[in-house]
A and B are shown apart, each in its own frame.
Chain A
Amino acid sequence: MRRSRRVRALTALALGAVLALAGCGAGGRPDPGSGGGAASGGSTVGITADSVKVGSHFPLTGVAAPGYSEIPTGTKAYFDWVNAHGGVNGRKIDYVFRDDAYNPTQTSQVVNELVLQDQVFAILGGLGTPTHGAVLDFLGAEGVPDLFVSSGSLLWDQPRKYPTTFGWQPDYEIEAKILADHVATTFPQARVGLFLQNDDVGEDAERGIRRYLDKQIVSVQRYTPGNTDIGPQMSALQAANADLVIGFNVPSYTALTQLQGLKLNYRPQWVYSNIGADPVLVGSLLGRFSQGQVTDAALLDGMITDEYLPRADNPSDAWTAQFDAIWKAHGDGGALTNFRIFGMSQGYAFVQALLAAGPNPTREGLVQAIEKGGTRFAGPWAAPYRFTADKHSGISGAKVVRVTGDSTTALGPVRVTDNGDAPITDATNGETPVPPNGIPAAPGGT
């Protein structure tokens, strides 16, 4: 008897649970088409009459945090400045950035949080190739404008697959083309070695470099990020008598190559990509890696790199002076760094895009405005964007510079180009004057 009662009780429990679930349900789907659709004008999530919410993800903790964690502080200071001057069309920008520790798993979590919980209007300047790569699908599927990704990967230029994603900095391929072209004309006799990160950075760069230097290359060495022993690669470059080495690597490997070069008494002419060449960061890394034996970036004196944004150590530049004033007014008290200028420039670009989207921006309207007018957006960056309906690549050029002491000297005009076999030409846009208060004006009648 007892047993059957237990079975009956259990059955009753299970049935009750199922009924409870079914009871709160709808039973069936209503006919399609009867649901109220969204307004036909487009999505206005995250934007109201007096505010617009923007989100981003950066490594604020962990190994990638030094340097990169300063970028969003610059963007925030810039937005605070814009808000203090009345906002964009009366809307205050509410900027939220979250920590992903440069871990794609966490990026996906924090971007979920930004889009689903914080309900941001757009994502701005999310940093990193593997990290941002994890959220491309999601942002595309949700229709969230994904502007100005902080990475030079070619992934961001896939308008058919990811219609809302736009790049920012010159991609590694065109950066490599511009540097290689400079080397080919300035050092036609050089025996060129390549030091490349063993991933898409190195691949894209090698493709660009080989267009101009294929015959001059004597050795190609690759390193795997995380493996700090680059002795074999450096010895191979030395053995091949490479007297000019082009490095497409992250800042820590700039420091490592310099220290290894000291050990081997190997001093070629170094050419580093922009991502690996921030002298302040490399200088501090040199100090740390050499346990205090190398204390500054003097080792970097004479190296060649490229620039596409104003430099923090150049107060005579009108843009740097403007950013310095903004940072003094709204910064956290630290120094104005190149990373913060990077973040402020992205903030400037966002304000410009939002203005171009008109007085009542929607997510779709913002994307269309960038596709329509993006090539004409001008600001602190050296060369125009390549934004059209068919192309979502960022800044189209840079100028080659030589590091001298704590500063840099230009080795020529700004050069612009595009992916593939597009020719390299001098930029025709000239320097953009700083608008009043450093805030872009609404585009007139485009």
Chain B
Amino acid sequence: MAAPVRPTEQAGTASRSGREPGRWSGLAARLRPRATFARHAALALLALVVVVLVLELTGPFRNSQFATMSYYAVAAAGLTVLTGLNGQISLGHGALMAVGAYTTGLLLPADVPLLLVLVIAAGVTALVGVLVGAAAARLKGPYLAGATLAFAVALPGLAIHFDEALGGEQGLPVPSPRPPDWFADAVYFLSANETSSAKYLAYVGWLVAIVAFLLLANLTASRIGRIWKAVRDDEVAAELAGVRLSRVRVLAFAVSAACAGLAGGVLGVVVRLAAPTGFTIVLSISLLTAVVVGGLGSLLGAVLGSALLVFLPPAVTDLGASAGLTDVQAAQLAPFVYGAVLILVILLAPGGVVGTVRARWHARTTAPAGAPEERTGRS
């Protein structure tokens, strides 16, 4: 038997969902699972379907771009949770990705299964994150940025110092995993396409991303996520309410680092190499710009921002080349346009893509009902 429905809640949903509670909003309300986890799981399932469709309908080069996008998205999601929800800034996530990539590079040749390797990579990086987070918990604003910046600059140097074990400047080769037969068969069953290496890696990347996003979404919607936001919004109030600030900060940093480690592991198998030159400060800053452009604190924003990281530079380069620039000039155009986009977003749409769209949406739906509700654009 169905559980009894509480009439008050039902009425509340109807009045909240817009001016015309027609059959569509009614259907949406009915389809929308009430439990947070169920709602997120349904979204994850939907995302999985989208991923399969997109990867099967695009060619191998796009597949490889989507593989790249998947690890940027996971790392950016970790960062957006840290910065957007807990208010800590990190310029060290590129180095944390290096930890994940090198862990993967060391474990994969030892015949450890890929999924286990990725979990271990996330775990090891989370431990590093605890160490960095413990130091960072005492710092704020520019000091925290400076400390994590130093970490980002220093860490790749370790790979050069311990070049016997870590391959030095020329890097540690990461064996590219081959798609298992059952996986290739399953994909063939669905789409009649063979599974290229690029496509398999894109699937691995996006499966990892979907799981990571599901966990992050639930975490941020839980008591822990609310505490993080409380610490971000008012430390004194949070402390008065019994929150132990440093412990919360360290936890947030560790969770965020685990995401970076996971992303680094995927990066390792996609790039097939972990080398210090791949984890410069530029990577850390790219992640931060992805988060800002997409919308700080929003997981969807992290996905949009990472899409920009992957698809904008080649598009701009091609555009420049077809506009008659030399190849060198066209290549130099890409970082310029990227910088210009970042400046414009900060000037014109400080909430990023997601923040701006959400603000517009709320302005439209709530304005006629009276005084507009104060929205931060972060949820």
Contacts and interface: CB of A to CB of B under 8 A. Distances in A.
B177 to A, nearest CB: 12
A25 B190 contact: yes
A226 B169 CA distance: 11
Contact of A103 (B190, B270, B282, B332): B282
A133 B275 CA distance: 10
Contacts of A138: 176, 272
10 contacts: A4-B2, A69-B328, A73-B326, A73-B328, A98-B331, A99-B331, A99-B332, A104-B273, A134-B275, A224-B157
B169 A60 contact: no
A429 to B, nearest CB: 32
Given A103-B278, A134-B275, A2 B176 contact: no
Interface stretch (B57-65, B112-120, B358-366): B57-65
Interface in B306-354: 310, 314, 317, 326-328, 331-332, 334-335
B278 A133 contact: no
B129 to A, nearest CB: 21
Nearest to B273: A134
A5 B30 contact: yes
Nearest to B274: A104
Contacts, number: 162
Interface stretch (B74-82, B160-168, B251-259): B160-168
Contacts of B176: 137-138
Interface residues of A, number: 62
A62 B277 CA distance: 12
Contacts of B52: 21
A2 B2 contact: yes
Interface in A68-117: 69, 72-73, 76, 96-99, 101-105, 108-109, 112-113, 116-117
Given A22-B190, A25-B192, A198-B163, A109 B30 contact: no
Contact of B49 (A17, A72, A137, A199): A17
A76 B321 CA distance: 14
A9 interface: yes
A135 B52 CA distance: 26
Contacts of B260: none
Nearest to B63: A116
A108 B31 contact: no
A99 to B, nearest CB: 4
A108 B277 contact: no
Contacts of B3: 3
A49 interface: no
A225 interface: yes
A10 interface: yes
A141 interface: yes
A198 B331 contact: no
A238 interface: no
Interface stretch (A26-34, A312-320, A392-400): A26-34
A240 to B, nearest CB: 23
Nearest to B32: A6
A10 B170 contact: no
Contacts of A62: 282
B17 interface: no
Nearest to A225: B169
Interface in A143-183: 153, 155
Given A29-B185, A97-B327, A108-B270, A155 B170 contact: yes
Given A99-B334, A116-B60, A133-B171, A29 B188 contact: yes
A9 B32 CA distance: 10
Interface in A182-218: 197-200
Given A130-B275, A200-B168, A21 B160 contact: no
Interface of A: 1-6, 9-10, 13-14, 17, 20-22, 24-29, 60-62, 69, 72-73, 76, 96-99, 101-105, 108-109, 112-113, 116-117, 129-131, 133-135, 137-138, 141, 153, 155, 197-200, 224-227, 332
Contacts of A4: 2
B170 A153 contact: yes
A230 B275 CA distance: 23
Interface in B270-297: 270-273, 275-278, 280, 282-283
B53 interface: yes
Contact of B169 (A99, A109, A130): A130
Interface string B10-42: 000000000000000000001101000000001
Given A61-B331, A134-B171, A104 B275 contact: yes
Given A109-B65, A116-B198, A200-B169, A24 B277 contact: no
A97 B328 CA distance: 9
Nearest to A96: B327
Contacts of B271: 104-105, 108, 134
B273 A133 contact: yes
A1 B273 CA distance: 56
A10 B3 CA distance: 17
B267 interface: yes
B5 interface: yes
B68 interface: yes
A332 B276 CA distance: 34
B357 interface: no
B189 interface: yes
Given A10-B33, A60-B327, A137-B272, A105 B192 contact: no
A187 B267 CA distance: 50
Nearest to A12: B31
Contacts of B33: 6, 10
Given A10-B33, A134-B273, A104 B61 contact: no
Kindly name the residue among A28, A60, A153 whose own CB sees the greatest number of chain B CB atoms within 10 A. A60
A17 B43 CA distance: 13
Contacts of B160: 198-199, 224-226
Contacts of B170: 129-130, 133, 153, 155, 199-200
Nearest to B64: A112
Nearest to B321: A96
Contacts of A105: 267, 271, 278, 283
A102 B277 contact: yes
B49 to A, nearest CB: 5
